[in-house]
Structure formats: structure tokens, C-alpha cells
Amino acid sequence: MISIVIRNKNEAKALENILSIITDVYSGDYKEIIIVDNYSTDNSVEIALKYNCRVVNIKDFTYGRAINVGIEAAATKYVLLLSAHAIPVGTSFFKNTLAALTANENIAGIRYINSIENYKRAVINNFKVLEPLDSGLMAACALINKEVWAQFKFNEELVAIEDKEWSDRVVKNDFQIIDLNETYFYFIKRTVKGNIARYKNETIASNVLRQKEFLSTTVIWGSFLKNILFANTKKYFESMNREFLLLKAKIEIQKQSKKKASN
């Protein structure tokens, strides 16, 4: 069986959504659901208890620490990590996951197909992740072998891409990360500020892992001016063109509607 671990902070609406679907569609496919909660101030905990989840609280949150706390609490060998914004799709999601694990004892983790680029890469590489720093696990929806995790805990200091770092580490120690031909819906909606903060954290973490210098000041300002003066201007005119085409289409619809009404 599989334990499910969901990281959460003040995501009551998303949590209700995912738990209602999981408990309905997959009720016989998992052993337990553990909510790793960063002291939510909304009604997340009440919702978790409503669906018979076990709640584990965490202070000093980092993604790696939340994952470690959740896996440590899990009662099974295999743990499905989920974001409150990620929902497995398909009635065979868990069954096919267990079938893949049974066929290969050397699997440390499973990445689920989440894009056409991911799928094409998986087909070319025979569904093995060969470049884990680039295409390793996505902790929003990923399966972890707890026995491997016991040897290689997640890095609790990284501000982001802790899933890619872990993937790289276990692959270097002769375990496998595989792509599985199952998928999930990821429906998070970040603000512009949230997306930029994510970009910043992921870039910092990636540069640390790759021992890579960031862009020079000249390149940074050059990119800024290019976007302001050219790229955004191009997008503006493309948007205006779209609005004119849409206006034309609406006028044609109106004409056709009036014509049919008069016949």
C-alpha cells in the first residue's frame, strides 16, 4: 500500500478539493493520508480531520523539511508526495504505480508525466530519468521509496528544487528515478509576485547546486531593456490585433444572428 503526504499552509479550499476527490476515487488504493501542516490559521486542520487524515505540524518550514517529516511519519514503504494543488488522474494511478515498483526494486522515486515535453523525453529515454537535476522528481506529485529515503534524506536547507537535488543524489548512488505514464492535474494560480519569488528561489538553489555564476550586470540590464522596449511592445501590438479580429468576428456573428432572426 501507499501512504499519501500532503504539505499544507492555509490552503483550505484546495485541500478540501483534493481530499474529496482522493477519498472518493481512490478510497481502496492507499493506506493513509498525512497532512504536514505549517500551523495554518484557516480551517485546513478541520478539513483534514473531516477526511480522517493524520495531521503532523511543522515549524521552521522548508520544502525539504516538510517532506522529511511527512515520510518519517508514513507507515508504508512507498509514499506519494502531493501538493494541495495536485490531483492524481485516472482510476489506475495507484495500481500502475505499484506495478512499476514491483517490477523494479531499484527505484528510488517516480516522476509522473506532466507535459508533452516530459512525455517525449520519457519515450526517448525508455522512461528512465537520465538528467535528474533537470528532469528529476517534481514534489508536487512524486512517489518516494522510504527505504531509499532512509539512506538519503531531503536537503532541508535548500530554498527550492530540493526534489531535483534528491533525485540527482540517489541516481549518483545507483538508484533509479523513472517516468511513469500516469499524470495529475496541477491547478495552482500564483500571483506575479509569487511567480517571481519562485523564480528567484529556484535560480538561487540551482546555481548553488551547479556551482554556476548568475548573469552579469550587463546581461541583466540588457535583458530588461530588451523586454521593455521590444518584447512587451510586440506583445502589445499582438494583443491589439487579436482584439480587432475578435471585434470583427463579433460583428459578423451579430449580422448572421439578425439575418436568421428576420427569415
pLDDT(195) > 80? no
**Higher pLDDT among residues 168 and 263, named by residue:** 168
d(CA 32, CA 70): 12
Least confident of 68-77, 142-151, 241-250: 241-250
Least confident of 67-81, 206-220, 230-244: 206-220
Contact 36, 8 (CB under 8 A): yes
pLDDT, residue 24, reads 95
In order of their start, the domains of the chain are 2-191 (3.90.550.10)
**Higher pLDDT among residues 243 and 204, named by residue:** 243
pLDDT, residue 185, reads 92
Task: Name 62's Cβ contacts closer than 8 Å, sequence gap at least 6.
Answer: 156, 157, 158, 159, 162
pLDDT level of residue 34 (50, 70, 90 thresholds): very high
pTM, 2 dp:
0.86
pLDDT, residue 132, reads 95
pLDDT level of residue 145 (50, 70, 90 thresholds): very high
Cell numbers standing for residue 254: 451579430
pLDDT level of residue 140 (50, 70, 90 thresholds): very high
Helix (H) or strand (E) holding 232: helix 232-262
pLDDT, residue 201, reads 77
pLDDT, residue 96, reads 95
d(CA 145, CA 78): 5
pLDDT tens readout for residues 60-112:
889 999 999 999 999 999 999 999 999 999 989 999 999 999 989 899 999 99
- % of the chain with per-residue pLDDT over 90: 69
pLDDT(189) > 90? no
Mean pLDDT confidence for 205-227 = 81
Least confident of 16-25, 39-48, 220-229: 220-229
Mean pLDDT confidence for 22-34 = 95
